[in-house]
Structure 1
Amino acid sequence: MKHLAIASLVLAAGAANAADYTIDPGHSFVTFEIGHLGVSKTVGRFNDITGEFTYEGEKSGSAELTIQSASVDTNHEARDKHLRSPDFLDVKQFPTITFKSTSFNGNELEGELTIHGVTKTVEFDVEKIGEGKDPWGGYRAGFEAKATIKRSDFGVTYFIPGVTDETELEVFIEGIRK
């Protein structure tokens, strides 16, 4: 019986090391950068992101994100309206973009990214920005992740090559420990 109690404490201590975080939508966002006509780049972001992640140091972690497609923002209303149309994101038919991780090794997060109803495996390079107590009694952790995707892989092919196929994604996440 004594051994069972000790084993339970060891398992509980191991589980306590697993830090579950809720994404703080006011301090988290996803940006994209894409070439335009071979003369410039367009940068945009998605303003509505929710999700959660688990981080156990560099040994393991996981993440699930949901982005509202209609929250696309390039600081140009006419372009944003076009990006929401069936030519690009088709937000009425595909209202969300999702990511669910499948593996994490400390600086690489792999998972299933779904855009425009198509799911593909994507690998993000991850950098931990920091973690610590906040002024309100909580505990936070922040990360930046980068990947390059081909939008055609997700069925978004309008105006290639005028608008490049390769799209750079950056994810900035700040989470509050539950």
Structure 2
Amino acid sequence: MDTVRSELKFSVGHLGVHTVVGTLAVQGRIVLAEDPLDSSVTATIDMASVRTGSKGRDKAILSAHLVDVDKHQTATYRSTGIAAGSGPGEFLLSGELTFLDVTRQVPVRIRLERFASGDGRPRPIVTGRAEFLRRDFGFVYHVRPRFLDRAISQSVAVDIRLEGSTAAPSEGTGL
């Protein structure tokens, strides 16, 4: 994966009127097989890289009251299967997200957007979207008063844009 050109964005509602958007650094590998349904994905998300545009909010997210980045430095995603989607280049990726030491199935709708060229080999560009519920991972804001946690939406949306780096043809097309 080209970590400079790839990005992971998350968004979560706050107080029912505002949406907080942030980014996280992601690295990993997507192998595009000759038969797309045999492709696979692994990714590692650097939790300490969170950026929301507010240093105070970032500090709160990383604190022991929410993510506790000292104990949970990364989250991981590993595909377990892939199925054809509703349109050309669209797929439904089945996979496991491990976050805060909890592993749950989180499907990702992905789309193979196009191939960029580089070093004479094509580099895939993949976009995707997933959603998960905070409570499924024990992702709770542990502060008093409790209404502060209730001000944060349970649903977290994740948007990805991954651009591949070149890999030797015998290794598959790596992202």
Instruction: Give TM-score scaled by structure 1 length.
Output: 0.82
Aligned to 2:135: 152
Aligned to 1:129: 113
Secondary structure of the corresponding residue to residue 51 of structure 1: strand
Compute the RMSD of aligned alpha carbons: 1.3
Aligned to 1:168: 157
Could you list the structure 1 runs, at least 4 aligned residues long, displaced by more than 3 angstroms after superposition.
none
The number of equivalent residue pairs is: 154
Aligned to 2:171: none
Q: 1:1-178 to 2 correspondence within 5 Å?
A: 23-46=1-24, 48-56=25-33, 57-106=35-84, 107-134=91-118, 136-158=119-141, 159-178=148-167
CA distance in 1, matches of 2:20, 2:94: 26
CA distance in 2, matches of 1:142, 1:37: 35
Structure 1 residues 28-81: Cα deviation after superposition (integer angstroms, max 9, x where no partner): 1111110011111110010x2111111125332100000110000001111001
Which structure is larger by alpha-carbon Rg, 1 or 2? Answer: 1
Higher mean alpha-carbon deviation, 74-83 vs 52-61, is at 52-61
CA contact (8 A) 2:6 2:161 kept: yes
In structure 2, runs of 5+ residues without a counterpart are 85-90, 142-147, 168-175
Q: Give the partner amino acid of 1:74.
A: T
CA contact (8 A) 1:116 1:155 kept: yes
Structure 1 residues 128-157: Cα deviation after superposition (integer angstroms, max 9, x where no partner): 1111422x4342001111111001111112
Aligned to 1:4: none
Same amino acid, percent of matched pairs: 30
Higher mean alpha-carbon deviation, 154-163 vs 67-76, is at 154-163
Instruction: Give TM-score scaled by structure 2 length.
Output: 0.83
In structure 1, runs of 5+ residues without a counterpart are 1-22
Q: Give the partner amino acid of 1:83.
A: I
CA contact (8 A) 2:116 2:125 kept: no
